[in-house]
Amino acid sequence: MRAERPQVDELGEDRPDEPDDPQGTAVARRWLRLPWWGRVAIVYGLSRLITTAMLVGVSFLQGTGSRFGAFPDIGTLATGWDGQWYWWIATYGYPSQLPLDATGHITENAWAFLPVYPGIAKGLSIVTFLPWPATAVLLSILAGLGTALLFYKLMRTRFHGSTAMFAVVLLCVAPLSPLFQLAYAEALFMLLLTLALLLLVRRRYGWLIVVIPVMAFTRPGVLAFALLLGLHFIARIVKRRTDPFPPRQVVLVLSAGLVATVCGFAWMVIAGIATGTHDAYLQTELSWRAAFIGVQPLVPFTAWFQAGAFWFGVPAGYIVVALFILGSVVFLCSRPARKLGSDLRFWIASYLLYLLAVFFPQTSVFRLLVPVFPALGALAVPRNRAYRVAVVLVSLALQWLWLYVMYGLANAYWTIP
């Protein structure tokens, strides 16, 4: 199969896409005559209508055993789970006294959630006079649209227009794409992450210093971006003979990496100062896994194996974790993944390593894996129509499964979204 080259001119503007079939249908020709942003907006809008229909279906199927009660409205569904924490933060801020259990250990509290998303939603609420739930969902929808638009531009740095557009389709119908219209910070983080990755690929390093702090206080994960910048720096050094690395860019990359590292630890310091407990944030995060394995200290790179043993027993759990790690490596080395380019593969590897170091996997692991969404570009490479239709249908089926079983019902600890 011939490798694809991005159709981008010297100014970085897209050239008109060519249809797969030169003769094409009238509908296909009209579709391609639309501006790229119009096509992305249509795909995004249609996908959100599909998800809304699913949410309506989930609402009608809720019984008294559901966390939301029988027949909740869509607004109630959209602001459930973490949305309640963000709403609490927008209304009351962060506690200065940490909640403790009977044994004196810190329990779940608002310090686990970062302030940018609830803060912006609150600002919109003040300006528009709309209630916080409405502005929170609106913010996620708009951030999702922005993510789709920037994701297309990011994919266009590597692929032809048809492949880039199908990657957008996969993004919009992905199993966890309902996050684009729920009161969660993921959509805003994805917007900032896509912007940061696009800036990195285009080597606009100075702007990263502006974007990284906002991203750092939106959702955890910026330490993985610091690792990405380190890998990018090493790659630029190694290739400097064929790809010059001017001193100005060296300074900017190192500066961006330093900012990402400092911002990655900043919230821990802020939480410690505000509560008078130096490890307030760390203990708050660990409280979420205490329900599974009890109160235990954080030992990097052990939680996945602890989770494997918890869910599948020993040695089966260890084998499952090892297979996941091996599968990730195989994917990153695969031909479709290589077409993503080194920077996007560095990001996927960095974020997976970050999760492996600090996260205890349970059913919310699917949501925690959302930031590896640039991998969708690799899934979009095959151009066989039957394959593409099948991938979309499977994605929609999994989206329904996640919405109904995990987000909607979630009547057991092993179905937490």
Residue 9 lies in a domain: no
User: Which of 389, 390, 382, 359 has its CA nearest to residue 372?
Assistant: 359
Full domain range(s) for residue 71: 35-415
**Exposed/middle/buried for 83, CB within 10 Å: 0-12, 13-18, 19+?**
buried
Residue 3 lies in a domain: no
CA distance 369 to 407: 16
For the stretch 111-163, pLDDT in tens is 999 999 999 999 999 999 999 999 999 999 999 999 999 999 999 999 998 99
Q: Provide the domain count of the chain.
A: 1
pLDDT at 177 over 50: yes
Residue 18 lies in a domain: no
Residue 345 lies in a domain: yes
Output the pLDDT for position 363: 85
Residue 150 lies in a domain: yes
**Average pLDDT for 179-201:** 98
CA distance 62 to 288: 26
Residue 7 lies in a domain: no
Residue 10 lies in a domain: no
User: Which of 138, 126, 132 has its CA nearest to residue 87?
Assistant: 132
Residue 302 lies in a domain: yes
For the stretch 23-75, pLDDT in tens is 557 777 888 889 999 999 999 999 999 999 999 999 998 877 777 888 888 89
